[in-house]
A and B are shown apart, each in its own frame.
Chain A
Amino acid sequence: MTKYIIKRIILIIPILLGVSFLVFTILSFTPGDPASIILGNGADQEAIDQLNKELGYDRPFIERYLSYVSDIALHLDFGFSYRTRLPIRQELIDRLPVSLKLAFFAVILACAIGIPVGILTAVKQYSALDTAPTLTALVFAAFPTFWLGMILLYVFSLRLGWLPSYGAMGWYHFILPVVGLGLPEAATLMRFTRSSMLETVRQDYIRTARSKGAPERRIIWKHAFKNALIPIVTIIGVDFAALMGDACATEVLYSMPGLCTMIINGIRQKDVPSVMGATLLLTALCALVVLLVDIVYAYIDPRIAAKYSGRRG
């Protein structure tokens, strides 16, 4: 198992290299250069060239890429922001908690609502307790995150004034973004839990459990839910990764100093190191979450555990 985990962590390196090359290339070959954006329209060419040289942007593309990668690999140095001249590493450290908290609590909210309601609808299939939540979920799953975010912002900040509309200073700043991000996710997760449970309760081993005389509650939780959990865990992992991306709209909407706003501002200002740093960090996070999901699998399903450790089976 440990060997498997180490192998998987090493495999993240080529992913990071691929992503970094792709993003770096796109940023470098889009028109414009950082200096002319920083100095504005009226600046003369000499000043622009001078600033680009200072920033190291005058060097050829390959040279810039290689030195960027080697700085990270050798010194964990993510360079300096073109715009603020501050080290990217510090900015990443400052912004990471905001993004993590947002995605983490949104996933928690999605699980807390989606999984129990999903089980309930499956157990009470075809009754009102099934149709009502399923229809509600359909509506919420169809909401775009930014739209729901705007509605929440309008109702709870602007109209009612209960919650702040921007920033990430205290926990209450997170309520609206987490709800806006988590609810559509809860809807997706609920629908998924429902279908996974329905699939599981039809299995032969559920009938075997009944034939032993197991009570319904035990059958649902001990036999059906644990088996249904395997695909649900996958979805939670994928959701977490997707949330990191979805969070862009939310972070911008609520002006939260997270990694996504860093990327978006960076793109606008052609601040290559900012975009690169935040993107790579998000990529690494997603890869780690996927790995975590795979490890959780092994705890739930002995067949997968056997595959990881190469035992018989």
Chain B
Amino acid sequence: MGHKLLEVKDLMVDYRTDLETIHAVNGVGFGLDQGETLGLVGETGAGKTTTALAIMRLLPERTGRIVQGDILLNGASVIEGTEKALQRLRGETMAMIFQTPMTSLNPIVSIGNQIAESILLHNTQGRSEGEIQQRVDEVLNMVGIPPARKKEFPHQFSGGMRQRVVIAIALACEPDLLIADEPTTALDVTIQAQVLLKIRDLRDRLGTALIMITHDLGIVAQTCDNVAVMYAGELVETGTARDIFTSATHHPYTRGLFDSIPRLNQKVRRLRPIPGLMPDPTDLPIGCFFSPRCPQARPVCREERPPVFSSGSQRIKCHLFGDQEGFAQAGP
């Protein structure tokens, strides 16, 4: 793996309104090497998108606040960057694919121009108008849309094609980091595989580092080198994809996630969903955030924040691993 591209350190993000403060991300830290793919997994509301938006510095201006922590992109802080510096980074060094392909494109600008804008904004090579158009054609070919259709508008494309246009916009400047925020959630099942394959294929071809945000463990298994499981704004378990899928020991939440997936090789009468709901982000529990739903919770879980324990590349934030063989405390 290449050098450290992205480092997220102890990130905390709040959404503040007059009525309440929502603690969306509560101390998330991870690193990403060049060309690496990280799967960010968790339920809706776990803070995955917020983490991604914080990295892009696209949090809602009025409410979203980065309270603590730092985000380093190629060693430089994104949080301290000026708006101008950020504009240079966005699109050129990091890009994002959003989960709503139907609304992510400007309805009154042709798709060709929307892709061209991205190239024009970061025209460091001094491309001429003709060369920009040529690049637009190239990118469209790359995502499998005939360049002849570049004069058409978003409403003339299907959901899957629109998402491919969004991917084309994101990849037009060949960014080092691509954040794909549930890129297939809003799509038809038949189109999902097609879009995923496209993202994977382009990642491999361009050597882009990828953060794949999803709640679909199948996608993680197919695409990711490393996996981070998120719950109530924190990482409860991280490790390589192999750790997550084959290791015998897991955070109870990760176990719950796997138990709620139907398996083909086992006769299962009923799925076992995780009982209860995610804690209210305006009023988080005192101890471990998962303790109210955890089947193995001990008294200490409801009183103290769990430390992180590690074994090999696997890191688990849970009290249960304090006396587990092979695990050593690796952090608070």
**Given A205-B104, A208-B169, A223-B106, are A213 and B155 also a contact pair (CB < 8 Å)?**
no
Interface residues on A, range: 20 to 34
Inter-chain contacts of B110 with A (CB < 8 A): 302
Inter-chain contacts of B227 with A (CB < 8 A): none
**Given A301-B108, A302-B153, are A211 and B89 also a contact pair (CB < 8 Å)?**
no
Alpha-carbon distance A301/B110, docked complex (angstroms)? 11
**Given A210-B58, A210-B90, A211-B90, are A301 and B107 also a contact pair (CB < 8 Å)?**
yes
- Asked whether B103 lies within 8 Å of A203 as measured between CB atoms, the reply is yes
A207 to chain B, nearest CB (A): 6
- Asked whether A227 lies within 8 Å of B96 as measured between CB atoms, the reply is no
B121 close to chain A: CB less than 8 A: yes
- Asked whether A205 lies within 8 Å of B90 as measured between CB atoms, the reply is no
Alpha-carbon distance A211/B105, docked complex (angstroms)? 12
Inter-chain contacts of B137 with A (CB < 8 A): none
CB contacts between A and B, total, < 8 Å: 80
- Asked whether A300 lies within 8 Å of B108 as measured between CB atoms, the reply is yes
B87 close to chain A: CB less than 8 A: yes
B92 close to chain A: CB less than 8 A: yes
Alpha-carbon distance A168/B62, docked complex (angstroms)? 51
- Asked whether B100 lies within 8 Å of A211 as measured between CB atoms, the reply is no
Contact for A208 among B92, B153, B166, CB less than 8 A: B166
Q: Which residue of B lies closest to A223 (CB)?
A: B106
- Asked whether B104 lies within 8 Å of A208 as measured between CB atoms, the reply is yes
Interface centre among A213, A215, A301, A302 (most CB of B within 10 A): A213
- Asked whether B98 lies within 8 Å of A204 as measured between CB atoms, the reply is yes
A303 close to chain B: CB less than 8 A: yes
- Asked whether B107 lies within 8 Å of A212 as measured between CB atoms, the reply is no
Inter-chain contacts of B122 with A (CB < 8 A): 213
A234 to chain B, nearest CB (A): 15
- Asked whether B104 lies within 8 Å of A213 as measured between CB atoms, the reply is no
- Asked whether A205 lies within 8 Å of B153 as measured between CB atoms, the reply is no
Inter-chain contacts of A226 with B (CB < 8 A): 108
A97 to chain B, nearest CB (A): 36
Contact for A207 among B91, B98, B107, B155, CB less than 8 A: B98
Inter-chain contacts of B58 with A (CB < 8 A): 207, 210-211
A109 close to chain B: CB less than 8 A: no
Inter-chain contacts of A159 with B (CB < 8 A): none
- Asked whether B95 lies within 8 Å of A211 as measured between CB atoms, the reply is yes
Inter-chain contacts of B92 with A (CB < 8 A): 213
Alpha-carbon distance A211/B99, docked complex (angstroms)? 13
Interface residues on B, range: 20 to 34
Inter-chain contacts of B117 with A (CB < 8 A): 209, 212, 214
Alpha-carbon distance A164/B6, docked complex (angstroms)? 71
Interface mask (B82-126 → A, CB under 8 Å = 1, otherwise 0): 011011111110011010100111111110000001100110000
Interface centre among B86, B108, B153 (most CB of A within 10 A): B108
- Asked whether B108 lies within 8 Å of A227 as measured between CB atoms, the reply is yes
B54 to chain A, nearest CB (A): 13
Alpha-carbon distance A214/B86, docked complex (angstroms)? 10
Alpha-carbon distance A91/B107, docked complex (angstroms)? 47
Which residues of A, 152-204, contact B by the 8 Å Cβ criterion?
203-204
A312 close to chain B: CB less than 8 A: yes
B156 close to chain A: CB less than 8 A: yes
Alpha-carbon distance A126/B95, docked complex (angstroms)? 30
- Asked whether A214 lies within 8 Å of B153 as measured between CB atoms, the reply is no
A313 close to chain B: CB less than 8 A: yes
B56 close to chain A: CB less than 8 A: yes
Alpha-carbon distance A82/B70, docked complex (angstroms)? 85
A306 close to chain B: CB less than 8 A: yes
A259 to chain B, nearest CB (A): 37
Alpha-carbon distance A27/B184, docked complex (angstroms)? 66
B98 to chain A, nearest CB (A): 6
Q: Which residue of B lies closest to A126 (CB)?
A: B62
Alpha-carbon distance A208/B95, docked complex (angstroms)? 10
Alpha-carbon distance A203/B60, docked complex (angstroms)? 12
Alpha-carbon distance A209/B169, docked complex (angstroms)? 10
- Asked whether A205 lies within 8 Å of B107 as measured between CB atoms, the reply is yes
- Asked whether A208 lies within 8 Å of B91 as measured between CB atoms, the reply is no
Inter-chain contacts of A312 with B (CB < 8 A): 156
Inter-chain contacts of B105 with A (CB < 8 A): 205, 208
Interface mask (B212-224 → A, CB under 8 Å = 1, otherwise 0): 0000000000000
Interface set of A (CB-CB < 8 Å, partner B) = 126, 203-205, 207-216, 223, 226-227, 300-303, 306, 312-313
Closest CB pairs A-B (n = 10): A213-B91, A213-B90, A204-B103, A212-B91, A302-B153, A205-B106, A212-B118, A213-B87, A211-B96, A208-B104
Contact sample, A vs B, 19 pairs, CB 8 Å cutoff: A204-B104, A207-B104, A208-B105, A208-B169, A211-B58, A211-B90, A211-B98, A212-B118, A213-B118, A213-B121, A215-B87, A302-B108, A302-B110, A302-B153, A303-B153, A306-B155, A306-B156, A313-B153, A313-B156
Other 14 A-B pairs with CB < 8 A, given A212-B95, A212-B117, A306-B153: A126-B62, A204-B98, A205-B106, A207-B104, A208-B104, A208-B106, A213-B87, A213-B90, A213-B122, A215-B87, A223-B106, A223-B109, A301-B108, A313-B153
